[in-house]
């Protein structure tokens, strides 16, 4: 479902650690990392439980999938909980990207072991992992956990290495995501990471905040955000399953939903259910947008940690 991102033989070069800044002690670091990990798992759970959600797995149904269900995702989340804590601590300790990548590769293996080889969260392992590392580095430096602060930390500390990681894609053999990227010039999670997750910070978070400002419910906020992401990104998951024709269906549904006002439209739920039925008919699953929605949920939760 979700494209592979961490696995690659190229590591890039680590930069020297900056001079140590005053920071909280060991106990505070452990407590903060545990809380960040809890929020990361909660964000994945929020994405899973969202409904209606076109073509995607939820507790209501399996969407366009016959190889996974909500239980598969729950097992995956449970397997990833320690990874998010470890990568947050690594970020706090100013670890180079090569170390973060090792943690990500180990997390992918734990996920596949828990799901009997089913790919549920590879894209999220990368995007949420980088956000957890950025949160750790931000807290160590005393930088606010606001969206702008998290993105700045990610790009300043690991931007060059993330760019090298994106450029090295396919060095050990292409994944499904890399194959469709080469065939259709589709950008994926590696490119997102190299640019500091622009779809999260420039598309998803603004959509979420617009919905919140007009008084939307949490479900409505997340549905609007998911549709904004579906309209914006070229989802390698969709291209892999259905090619450019499938991607066009996803884009048309997303743009049409938003043009009608999104969840501000009284008929939004039936419109979303219609999209769900169409996506299931064509076996479409916008898993990349779902991963980015979970990342948006995490960014939102992390910003609430300031002052705690």
pLDDT in tens, 263-290: 999 999 999 999 999 999 999 989 889 9
Residue 19 lies in a domain: no
Note the pLDDT of residue 211.
97
Task: Enumerate residue ranges in the chain where pLDDT < 50.
Answer: 1, 8-22, 172-174, 178, 180-186
DSSP string, 264-300: GSTTHHHHHHHHHHHHHHTT---HHHHHHHHHHHHHH
Structural domain count, the chain: 1
DSSP string, 141-155: HT---SHHHHHHHHH
Q: Identify the domain containing residue 267 by its residue range.
A: 26-303
Q: Which residue has the tokens 């790919």?
A: 119
Residue 16 lies in a domain: no
Residue 244 lies in a domain: yes
Residue 14 lies in a domain: no
Note the pLDDT of residue 112.
96
Note the pLDDT of residue 53.
95
Note the pLDDT of residue 94.
97
Note the pLDDT of residue 238.
66
Residue 10 lies in a domain: no
Note the pLDDT of residue 187.
54
Residue 9 lies in a domain: no
Note the pLDDT of residue 140.
96
Residue 308 lies in a domain: no
Note the pLDDT of residue 44.
98
Report the candidate in 30, 12, 46 with the shortest Cα–Cα distance to residue 298: 46
Residue 194 lies in a domain: yes
Note the pLDDT of residue 117.
93
Note the pLDDT of residue 228.
96
Stated length of the chain:
308
CB atoms within 10 A of CB 71: 11
């Amino acid at each position: 479902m979700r494209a592979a991102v961490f696995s690659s033989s190229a590591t890039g070069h680590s930069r020297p650690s900056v001079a140590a800044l005053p920071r909280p002690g060991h106990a505070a670091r452990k407590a903060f990392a545990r809380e960040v990990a809890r929020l990361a798992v909660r964000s994945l759970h929020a994405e899973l439980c969202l409904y209606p959600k076109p073509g995607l797995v939820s507790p209501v149904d399996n969407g366009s999938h016959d190889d996974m269900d909500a239980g598969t995702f729950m097992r995956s989340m449970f397997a990833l909980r320690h990874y998010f804590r470890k990568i947050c601590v690594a970020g706090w300790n100013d670890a180079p990207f090569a170390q973060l990548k090792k943690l990500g590769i180990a997390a992918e293996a734990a996920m596949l072991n828990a799901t009997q080889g089913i790919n549920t969260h590879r894209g999220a392992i990368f995007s949420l992992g980088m956000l957890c590392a950025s949160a750790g580095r931000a807290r160590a430096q005393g930088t606010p956990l606001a969206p702008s602060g998290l993105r700045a930390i990610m790009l300043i500390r690991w931007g060059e290495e993330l760019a090298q990681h994106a450029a090295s894609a396919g060095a050990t053999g292409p994944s499904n995501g890399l194959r469709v990227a080469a065939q259709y010039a589709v950008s994926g999670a590696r490119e997102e990471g190299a640019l500091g997750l622009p779809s999260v910070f420039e598309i998803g978070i603004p959509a979420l905040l617009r919905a919140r400002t007009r008084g939307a419910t949490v479900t409505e906020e997340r549905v609007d955000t998911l549709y904004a992401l579906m309209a914006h990104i070229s989802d390698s998951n969709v291209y892999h399953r259905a090619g450019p024709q499938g991607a066009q269906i996803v884009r048309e549904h997303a743009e049409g939903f938003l043009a009608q006002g999104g969840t501000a439209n009284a008929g939004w739920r039936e419109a979303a259910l219609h999209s769900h039925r169409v996506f299931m008919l064509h076996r479409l699953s916008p898993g990349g947008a779902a991963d980015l929605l979970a990342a948006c949920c995490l960014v939102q939760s992390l910003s609430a940690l300031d002052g705690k």
